[in-house]
Amino acid sequence: MIRKTLLLVVLGAFALSAGAQNFNVLQDLQTQPELLAGTDYLCPTGPVSLTPAPKDYQPFYISHYGRHGARYAWQSDMYERLNNVFGAAAEADNLTPLGASFKQRFDSLYPSVRYRVGDLSRKGWQQQQELATRMYENFPKVFGKDAKVRAWTSTSTRCIMTMSAFCLGLKAKDARMDIFENFGVSFLPAILPLDRNNPFRNDKYLRTPVSFDETWAQYIERTVDYRAILARLFKDSDKAVAAAEQWDFVSYLYFFAAGMNSLDTDLDFTDIFTPEERIALWKIDDFQFYANAWPTHLGYQPIVDDMIAKADARIASGEQGADLRFGHDYTFLPLLMTLGVNGYNHDVTNPDEIPFWCQLHEVPMGANLHFVFYRHPRSAKVLFKVLLNGREAHLPLETENWPYYDWDAFKQQASIPVMGEYTTVDTTVPEVSGLGLRPDGKGLLAASDESGVYAVSWTGETEPFYTERRMDCEGVTLDPATGDVYYIVERKQEVRRLRAPEYKESELLTVIKEVGYRTNSGLEAITWMGDGTLLLGNQAKPRLLIRYSPADGILSQTEITEGIEDISDLCYDPVRNALWIADSELRTINLCTLEGKVIATYPVPFIDNGEGLYVDREHQCIWVGDDTTSKLFKISFKNL
């Protein structure tokens, strides 16, 4: 028996999937024009209506991620650029009456904002104290005697100020509260995991390119006539702003006007836009945020991992209180996508539908996400609910009592499995080429590329299940509902069934002649999908996932073009609704999407030719069969 500790290489994060559209968002923007400020909208701090907890459940812990509070403009040259352009236009007598009015108002503001770029504003400070007060008053039992509050932030000054304001808000409710604030690059994995200053940054995660071809520049041109906006301000727009810089300047005007929400001023600059232009500019900003966040959103899994680890530590210790994290909008949005909060994990295929799935006013100044945890005095089950900006939110997780979710069920879906030690089991199967569950549940079925299918106990005892001389059987799987067993024969490209309970007669279902026929790189893997269909794996040239129905034939084919060199075996994971793929060429096992995109890769260099794979949740392990030695490797996993 061999034991070793294994190294996990994470290539991505598990993306939950659900949907919750807001088809009324454009009407909302018309009736609530304050939302048109987008990410400059101020998160409301007033009372919210919350659903009572199930009987005898009490809140004890809050895990929080928040965006910094209201601030001055973040663009380093915004105020100076506006001052220079309008100043030069005034000297050249190039301002329209509206342009002159804009300049007069701007000039009255400029001295107070000129050197405040990126700073937290007084409104931002007050906002954070009000948000802290709301948290305390909504969940006073979380902050009872002996409660501990721990806060971390990015190294940004406005985030540090935000953290301090929030914690002072809690102190104002209870001066004796145990609060510790901290910041530094060592905390960036839980705050800004993809920040270039993060010493633990891991770029090996699954990229998810946007599912449309239109570029931001193309979308701008068809969405708004930004030159018309400049024509209202300048007599000669081209003289005021170079043609190549005109869109950029209009975007500054949009953000500048929106940013008045964050300052102590009654000045309003939105009159330079028509109502239709404001909506168009909001949509353009929405497009950009989505298109920037979606491709890398799975890189923010470390925040989720930190939330899980800290929550589990509090649950284990029984300690009350809160863990607070403070960051930025460009992290908050992909975090919503990673978690699937309110359908933010939807893969948009048409840019015109982005506003239905992604609304920037949900990532406002002071945006906040809370996981509020509840425990029961006579039950080990921990419940939690999610609050987005104070309002109860949805997760892509089944529950019988929304907004409350089972914490263990969430962890099962949201956390990446961690590979641990392995042991080996000897068998007498001639060259193990595929694995599946035995119909009696007392072990595994093993495909042999020499003679068919064998039954193997958990401790390695081997006996023939269905064998034929010189049968190149490469994969086997079980339909747990009927007990029927399916297997594949390479070269012949046959898919066959053994009907329960006799398993005596082999029934030919189909021959896949389109690929791999009479070659040694054809059908290599098969797994039951749970919906009446099978997924077949064509080993190479090409690497194909073939969805097959015994009733309707081939339903779809998906080619794997990256991350996998050899489809050696497949195992459908119904808990994660994901796919595990063994790759004997790269000596890896891989957690993948149903389309074969790699989410996480686990190297198994100690296995010479791993051609069989089965996910065994009962024993919290994955079994891998070695074609060279006929050994089974039992690899333990945490969070499987």
pLDDT digits (tens, 9 = 90+) for 308-321: 999 999 999 999 99
Rg of the chain, C-alpha, whole Å: 29
pLDDT at 267: 97
What is the tally of structural domains in the chain? 3
pLDDT at 520: 74
Domain annotation covers residue 12: no
521 and 564 share a domain? yes
pLDDT at 412: 81
Q: How confident is the model at residue 473 (pLDDT cuts 50, 70, 90)?
A: very high
pLDDT at 484: 97
Please give the share of the chain, as a percent, with pLDDT higher than 70. 97
112 and 134 share a domain? no
246 and 318 share a domain? no
Q: Please identify, among 281, 306, 322, the residue that sits at the C-terminal boundary of a domain.
A: 281
Please give the share of the chain, as a percent, with pLDDT higher than 90. 87
Tell me if 416 sits within 8 A of 305, measured CB to CB: yes
507 and 577 share a domain? yes
pLDDT at 10: 37
pLDDT at 4: 33
Tell me if 596 sits within 8 A of 605, measured CB to CB: no
pLDDT at 16 over 90: no
Domain annotation covers residue 1: no
Say which CATH number the domain at 448 has.
2.120.10.30
194 and 92 share a domain? no
Q: Please identify, among 217, 248, 281, the residue that sits at the C-terminal boundary of a domain.
A: 281
Which whole number is the average pLDDT over 357-380? 96
Q: How confident is the model at residue 250 (pLDDT cuts 50, 70, 90)?
A: very high
Q: Please identify, among 234, 256, 281, the residue that sits at the C-terminal boundary of a domain.
A: 281
Instruction: Provide the domain limits for residue 83.
Output: 78-117+225-281
Give tens-digit pLDDT for 35-67.
999 999 999 999 999 999 999 999 999 999 999
Q: Is 527 left (phi over 0), alpha (psi -120 to 50) or beta?
A: beta
249 and 360 share a domain? no
Which whole number is the average pLDDT over 316-339? 97
Which whole number is the average pLDDT over 278-288? 97
Q: How confident is the model at residue 205 (pLDDT cuts 50, 70, 90)?
A: confident
51 and 35 share a domain? yes
Residue 100, classified by CB atoms within 10 Å of its CB into exposed (0-12), middle (13-18) or buried (19+), is middle
> Which stretch of DSSP H or E encloses residue 485?
strand 485-489
Domain annotation covers residue 13: no
Averaged confidence pLDDT in the chain = 93
pLDDT at 637 over 60: yes
pLDDT at 25 over 60: yes
Here the tokens at position 487 are 């297997």
129 and 105 share a domain? no
Say which CATH number the domain at 329 has.
3.40.50.1240
Give tens-digit pLDDT for 191-204.
999 999 999 998 87
CA–CA gap between residue 58 and residue 25 (Å, rounded):
35
